[in-house]
Chain A
Amino acid sequence: MASVRKKAARPPKKPAVRDRELARARGELRATREILRVIASSPADLAPVFDAIARSVARLCGAPDVVIVKVDGELLRHVTSVGPLGKTFGPDFTMPLTRASVSGRAILDRATIQVRDLAAESENEYGVGRQIQGRYRFHTVVAAPLLRGDTALGAVGLLRREIKPFSNTQIGLLRTFADQAAIAIENARLFNKTKEALERQTATNEILRVISASPADAMPVFETIVRSAVALCAGLFANVFRFDGELVHFAAGHNLGPSYVDLMQAKYPMRPDLSQVSGRVLLTKSIVRLEDALADSDYDHRFPADLGWRRALGVPLLRDGDPVGAIVVGWKETGPIAAAQEELLKAFADQAAIAIENVRLFNETRDALERQTATSEILRVISSSPIDATPVFETIVASARRLCEANFAAALLYDGERLRSAALTTVSAEFAEYFKQGYSVNRETATGRAALDGRPVQIEDILADADFAVTAAHRSEGVRTVLAVPMLRDDALLGVISVWRVEVRPFTDQQVKLLETFADQAVIAIENVRLFQELQAKNRDLTEALEQQTATSEVLKVISRSAFDLEPVLQTLVENATRLCGAEHGHILRFDGQFFHLAGSYGASPYLAEYFARNPFALDSSSGAGRAGLERRAVHIHDVLADAGYALKDLARAEGLRTLLAVPMLRERALLGVIAIWKTRVEPFTERQIELVTTFADQAVIAIENVRLFQELEARTRELARSVDELQALGEVGRAVSSTLDLDTVLTTVVARALELASADAGVISEYEEGARQFRLRTSVGVEDELVELIRAAPIRLGEGTMGKAAVTGVPVQVADIQNEREYDVARLRETMARRGYRSLISVPLRREDRIIGGLAVWRREAGEFPLAVVSALQTFATQSTLAIQNARLFRELEEKGRELELASRHKSEFLANMSHELRTPLNAVLGYTELVLDGIYGEIPDRVRDVMTRIDRSGRHLLGLINDVLDLAKIEAGQLALSIADYSMTDLVQTVAVAVEALAAEKRLALKVDVPADLPRGQGDERRLSQVLLNLVGNALKFTDRGEVRVAASLGNGEFVVAVADTGPGIAPTEQERIFDAFHQADGTAARKRGGTGLGLSIAKRIVDLHGGHIWVESSPGRGSTFSFTVPVRAEQRVTA
C-alpha cells in the first residue's frame, strides 16, 4: 500500500516536454471548464456532472476505467462509471463503507489512496477490495474522497487492469476532479432542498404581491389563488366563494368551462346547503373532503358531471372564526386527499381571507385616510409656518375645495368689524374683487350669517334665498350653493371658511363636518401665530431683562468685590448703562457739593475727560448733569443742539453728541452725582432705558454708600485694631513685668512692643544716674551697634536731646525731623542717625513721683510727628518701664536682704550647735565630779554636802536638757533633723514612757493612767523621736498638774495613731493655745520659772510630729485641765523639711 500526497522534484524541462505539458495543462483546463459549465447548467441533476467528471478523469488521468460512488448511510452506492471495466459496475452496485476497500478507506481517512496491486494486498487489509478485485479483475487502483468540508460524500476510483501506478500529476488531477464532484453533489442537494420551498414561496409571494397590489379589490387575489391552487395541487379546477352571512356568492374560478360557468351563475348566490362543497364548508365552518361527488347522494351531480371531476376539497375562509367564504379544488380522480394539498389550500384560504379583510378595511379607511391626509397636510403647514397663518389658510382653502367637491373656497378673518379675505382659491377677477371688499357681519351672506350665528350655514341656492345679497359677481360666476363655517375660539369669532358651488348641490353632512375640522385647524393656526408672536415678544422682553439682570448682577458683583474701591464700580455702571441703552458715550459724575467731577466714562474721547477736569460743571441748568442734579430727576434731551437751555452746544457739536439722558444719583435727597449717557444721533431713549439708568444710578448710590461705610468701618477697625494691639502690647509688657524679674527681659519687651505700636524702627530705654546727671543706656532694640557705642561713649546728659528734655519737663518730647538742627541738638548723634536713615524720634520720661528714673525713646526712619495715640501708648509703656525698674531695684534689695538673712540663720544654727558642744564640756566636768563625789570616790561626805551635791546634779541635768533642746531646735531649723524610720510598737512606746515617768507621778502623788490597746498594729516611724514627743507631753502634764491625774491614751483611727495626754492641771487660755507650739514659749512665764523647762519641748514635739506627717493640737480651758493630742500615720515616711 502507498499513500501518495504530492510531488517529487521535477527535472529541468526541454522545450518539447514543455510544449507537451502546456498541451496537457490546456486539456485539464478545458476539462475543468467543461465540468463547471455542466455544474452550472444542471444544478439539480447530478448525473451529467458525474458523467462529465468520470469522462474527464478517464481522459486526463490515463485510466480507462473510472467508478464514482456516493455515501448512502452505511453503504457506498454506484453513481456513474466509464470504461470497459467501469461499465461492468452496474447501477445497483454497492459495497459497505469500511476501511476494507480502497474507496472506503479513502473516504474514512479523508485521503487519496493508491494501491499498486490490490491483488497483492492481504485479506486483512482490503477484504472487500479483494472480493471486488476478484470479481472485476483489476490491479492498480487509486481512490480520492469527495469531501464537502469535513463530510465525505463519496469517492472517485481509478482502475487499471495492469500493475502500473498513477503519477503524482494524475493523482493531483484526480483530487481536483473529486473536489469538483463534491461541489456538484452539494449543489444538487441544496438545489433540491430549496426548490420545493421556493415553489411554494413563489406562489405565496405572488398572492401576497397581488394582495398588496389590489388593496381595494379582492378579485385579482382570488384569481391568483384559484390559478395557484390548480397549479400547485395539480387539480382540475378551483373556485373561490364569498359568504355575506346569509348567501354564498361565486367570486372566482379557474379552468371552468363556459357551460360550468353558466351552471355556477345559475346556482349562485345561494343559501349554503349540502348540494355544494362551498355550502358544506360554510355550514360546518370546517374543511370538507369529498372523495367522490358522484357517490354522494346529497350532492348536485350536475357540477361534477359537467367538468368531469370526482374528488373535491373545500376550505373555509375565516375572519375571527366566522366564515366569510370558501375555496374549493376539484380533481378528476376519486380517493383521499393528500395532506400536503390540504395544507396548501389552507394557506390559500388564509390569504384569501386576508385579501377580503384588506379590502373591507381599505374601503372603510380610504375616506378617513383622505381626510386625514388633508388634515395632516394642514397641520404640517401650521407647524411649518408658526409666524404666518397665510400658508395655512391657503392649504385649507385648497383642501376644502377639493374634499368638499366645491368650485372654490375662501377663508376670511374677522378684524372686530369686518371679515377680510385671507385666502382664496382661483376665481375670476371679478369675483376675486368681490371677496377683496370683505364682508359685513349681517344676514346678507352665508359668511355673515355663519359669523353671526357661530355655526355652519348652508344656502342651497342663493338665488332662492330672499335675504341673500346676490351681486353681479355671483351671477357672472354662476354661484348657487354656498357653505360657510365660522372659526371660533372660546366663542370668539376669528373668521369664516366658505365653499361655493356653481350648481345647486348641497354639501353633505360629512363635508360640513370636514369644513368644521378645517375651521378648527385654522383656529389652531391663528392661535399658533398669536402665541408665537406673544412668545416672541415675551422672549424679547426676557432677553432684555436678562441682559439688564446680567448687567445689574455684574455691577453688584463689582460692588461687592470692590467694597473699598469705587472706581471699578462706577466704571462698570457707566459702561453697562451706555451699552444697554444703545448709547455711544457715557459719563458718571460725582458731585462734591459745588462741582461735578468725572468719576468714570465709557466711549468718550480723552478730550472730553480733560474738558470735564478743566471745566467742572456747576449745579445749574447749563449742562444736562447740572439740570438733572438741580431738578433731582432724570433729564432727557432729545437733541441738545435743539435745546435752548443747553449751554454746551459747542462741546456737543465737537463730540457729535445729540440725545442726552442724565439721571441723578440721590441718597435720600442728597445729590451724589449724575449718570449721563449720549447718543451721537437724535433718537430718544425709551421709558425702559430711562428706568434702567435710574436703576444704575441707585446702584451707584449704593456703591458710594458702601464705600463710605466701608471706609468708616475700616477706620474704626484700624482704630480698634490699634487699640487691641496696644492692649495686647501692654498686656505682654504687663506679663513680662510680673512674670520675670529680669529687668533686661522686661525692658526689651517694652521697647520691642513700643516699636511695633509706634511703627518705629529702633528704640532705647536708659536709666538716669543721679550722681552723673546723665542717662546710661540700659536696653536697645533695633539700634545699630555703631549708635549704641556712640551713646555709651557719650551718654545723653540731663536737659540734652529729647530724653534729657523729657526728664526735666516730665512730658514727652519729640523731634519731627532730626535734620532740623534747631529741633534736635545732639550734634554728636545726628549725623550717624541720619546716615542710618532715622528722621524722627520721641522720648518719654520715666519718673517715679518726682524722681527721674530714666527715659524711653523710639526712632523712626520717617519724618513727622508721632500720632497722639502713639504718644499716649508710649507714656503707658514708660510707666510700665518705671515700674519694672523700680521692681527690679526692690527685688535686688530684697534678694540681698534675703541672702543676708539666710546667712544669719545659718550662722545662728551653727552657733547654736557650737554652743551646745562647748557647753557640754564644762557640764561634763560639773556632772562628772558631782557623780564621783556622790559615789564617794573622794571619801565619805556629810549629809548636808550630799544634799547640796544632789541639787548641783539636778541643776546640771536641767542645764543639759536645755542644751539638748536647743540643739534639737537648731537641727530642725537647719533642716538637719532626719527621722530614723523603722518598725516600732506604739503600745510598747506608750508603756515605756509611762514607766519612765512613773516615779515622777508617784513623787507628785498623781494618778497616771494608761489606756492603750494591746492589739495596735506595728507602726513605722522614728521611735526615739516619737518617745521624745510623748515624754514631753506627759512630762509637761505631770509638771503642771498638782492634783488629780494624768491620763495617756493611744488608739487607731483612719490609718493614724491618735495619742492623747489629758491632765487635771490649770488649763490654758485660748489666746495662749495659739502660740503654745511656738519656740521659746511657755504658757505662763511665772509658771515656767516655777516649773522649769526650756519652753522648747512643745515646739520640738510639733516639728517631730510634722516630720512624721501628723499633727498636734491642744484642747483646754483654764481650770479644766488640758488635753494634748497628736496623730501620726501608722506607716510614716521620711519627710523633707525646708
Chain B
Amino acid sequence: VSARILVVEDHEDNRRIVRDLLASAGFEMIEARSGEDAVRLAEAERPDLILMDLQLPGIDGLEATRRIKADPALRPVPVIAVTSYALSGDEVKARQAGCDDYVTKPFSPRALLAKIRERLK
C-alpha cells in the first residue's frame, strides 16, 4: 500500500518537484497551498506524513503544525519542516511547534526522499 503524503507548499515549482519526486517513488500525494488548507486536509485526509513549508500565506507552517499536532488523531503523523530560513533558532522554533524533522532549501530531492522513507518506516 503506497503511503499518502500531504505536501504543504505555496511555490508552484517546488511543489511540482516534490510531486514528481514522490510520484516517481510511488507515493500518493495530497497538496495544500496554505496553512489553513494544510490543517483542513490533514484532518480530512489523514496523511501518513506531512511535508510542511514554514513560510506560507495566511497562517504559517509553524501555526499549522501546532494545530495539526493539537489533534490527538493526527499527533503520530510525522511532520517534516521544509524551509528556506536558515538562521540559528529557526530549527528550534520548528521543533517547538511540533515538527519531527527539519530540511532546509535548497534541498536535494534524493536526500529528501531518503528522509521520507526513513520516517515512514
- Cβ of B114 within 8 Å of any chain A Cβ, yes or no, is no
Cβ contacts A914-936/B at 8 Å (1 or 0 each): 00111011111111110110010
Partner of B108, one of A916, A931, A937, A938: A931
Q: Is A665 an interface residue (CB 8 A)?
A: no
* A971 surroundings in chain B (CB, below 8 A): 87-88
Cα distance, A132 to B17, chains bound together (Å): 167
Question: Which residues of B lie under 8 Å from residue A924 when comparing CB positions?
Answer: 11, 14, 17, 84, 105-107
Question: For B105, what are the chain A residues with a Cβ–Cβ distance below 8 Å?
Answer: 920-921, 923-924
Q: Is B20 an interface residue (CB 8 A)?
A: yes
Q: Nearest chain-B residue to A960 (Cβ)? A: B106
- Cβ of A913 under 8 Å from chain B: yes
A918 to B83, CA, bound (A): 11
Which residues of B are found within 8 Å of A66, using beta-carbon distances?
Answer: none
Q: Are A923 and B109 in contact (CB under 8 A)?
A: no
Q: Which of B14, B87, B104 contacts A976 (CB 8 A)?
A: B87
Tell me the bound Cα distance from A971 to B84 in angstroms.
Answer: 15
Number of interface residues of A (CB under 8 A): 27
Residue B121, interface by CB 8 Å: no
- Judge whether A647 is part of the interface by a CB distance below 8 angstroms: no
Contact indicator B106/A927 (Cβ below 8 Å): yes
In Å, the complex CA distance between A938 and B20 comes to 9
Q: Is the CB of A925 within 8 A of B17?
A: yes
Residue A978 interfacial (CB < 8 Å): yes
Task: Determine how close the nearest CB of chain A comes to the CB of B102; give it in whole angstroms.
Answer: 14
Q: Given the complex of chains A and B, what is the CA–CA distance between A992 and B11 in angstroms?
A: 36
Interface string of A971-985 (1 = CB under 8 A from B): 100001110000000
- Point out the residue from B17, B24, B87, B88 that lies within 8 Å of A928, measured CB to CB: B17
Distance in angstroms between the alpha carbons of A925 and B82 in the assembled complex: 13
Q: In the complex, which of the residues B21, B84, B85, B104 contacts A932, with contact meaning CB atoms closer than 8 Å?
A: B21
Return the CB mask of B1-32 against A: 1 if under 8 Å, else 0. 00000000001011001001100100000000
Residues of A close to B88: CB separation below 8 A: 971, 976-978
Q: Helix, strand, loop or mixed for chain A's interface? A: helix
Chain A residues with CB under 8 Å of B24's CB are: 932, 937
Chain B, Cβ-Cβ closest to A970:
B87
Q: Check A920 against B20 for contact (C-beta < 8 Å).
A: no
Residues of chain B in range 37-96 having any CB-CB distance to chain A below 8 Å? 55, 84-88
Q: Which residue of A lies closest to B112 (CB)?
A: A928
B-side contacts of A929, CB under 8 Å: 13, 17
Partner of A925, one of B14, B86, B87, B110: B14
- CB A33 to nearest CB in B, in angstroms, measures 140
Q: A935 near B84 (CB under 8 angstroms)?
A: no
Shortest Cβ distance from residue B25 to the other chain A in the assembled complex, whole angstroms: 9
Give the CA-CA distance A446 to B58 in the complex, in Å: 165
Q: Are A923 and B20 in contact (CB under 8 A)?
A: no
A928 to B16, CA, bound (A): 10
Nearest Cβ distance between residue B59 and chain A, in whole angstroms? 19
Cα–Cα distance between A913 and B89 once the two chains are bound (Å): 14
The verdict on A230 contacting chain B, using a C-beta distance below 8 Å, is no
The residues of B that contact A960 with a CB separation of less than 8 Å are 106
Q: Are B87 and A913 in contact (CB under 8 A)?
A: yes
A window 956-1002: CB within 8 A of B:
956, 960, 964, 967, 971, 976-978
* A967–chain B nearest beta-carbon distance, Å: 7
Question: How many whole Å from A220's CB to the nearest CB in chain B?
Answer: 147
Q: Do B84 and A921 have beta carbons less than 8 Å apart?
A: yes
Residues A891-946 near B (CB distance < 8 A):
913, 916-918, 920-929, 931-932, 935, 937-938
**How does the 8 Å CB contact mask read for A763-793 relative to B, with 1 for contact and 0 for none?**
0000000000000000000000000000000
Query: Which residue from A922, A928, A978 sits with its C-beta under 8 Å from B109?
Result: A928
CB neighbours (8 Å) of A932 from chain B are 17, 20-21, 24, 109
Q: Report whether A917 and B84 are in contact in the complex, using a CB–CB cutoff of 8 Å.
A: yes
B14 → chain A closest CB, angstroms = 6
Residues of B within 8 A of A928 (CB): 13-14, 17, 106-109
Contact status of A931 and B109, CB under 8 A, knowing A924-B84, A971-B87: yes
Distance between Cα atoms of A927 and B107 in the complex (Å): 8
Q: Assess A916 versus B86: contact at CB under 8 Å? Given A932-B109, A938-B20.
A: yes
Give the docked Cα–Cα distance between A918 and B106 (Å): 11
Q: In angstroms, how far is the closest chain B Cβ from the Cβ of A919?
A: 8
* Chain A residues, CB < 8 A from B55: 917
Which of the listed residues B17, B55, B106, B108 has the most CB atoms from chain A within 10 Å of its own CB? B106
B20, A937: Cβ atoms closer than 8 Å: yes
Q: Which residues of B contact A917 (CB under 8 A)?
A: 55, 84-86
Does the CB pair A927–B20 fall under 8 Å? no
Closest chain A residue to B111 by CB distance?
A931
Q: Determine the distance from Cα of A924 to Cα of B11 in the docked complex, in whole angstroms.
A: 10
Residues of chain B with a CB closer than 8 A to A967's CB:
86-87
- A927 CB contacts on chain B under 8 angstroms: 106, 108
Measured in the bound complex, the distance between the Cα atoms of B104 and A341 in whole Å is 155
**How far apart sit A913 and B55, CA to CA, in the bound complex (Å)?**
14
Task: Given A924-B105, A964-B86, output 13 extra A-B contacts at Cβ < 8 Å.
Answer: A917-B84, A922-B13, A923-B105, A924-B106, A925-B11, A925-B13, A928-B17, A928-B108, A931-B108, A937-B20, A937-B109, A967-B87, A971-B88
Which B residues contact A (CB, under 8 angstroms)? 11, 13-14, 17, 20-21, 24, 55, 84-88, 104-110
Q: Give 15 A-B contacts (CB < 8 Å), ordered by A residue.
A: A917-B84, A920-B84, A921-B11, A924-B11, A924-B84, A924-B105, A925-B13, A928-B106, A929-B13, A931-B108, A932-B24, A935-B109, A956-B106, A971-B88, A976-B88
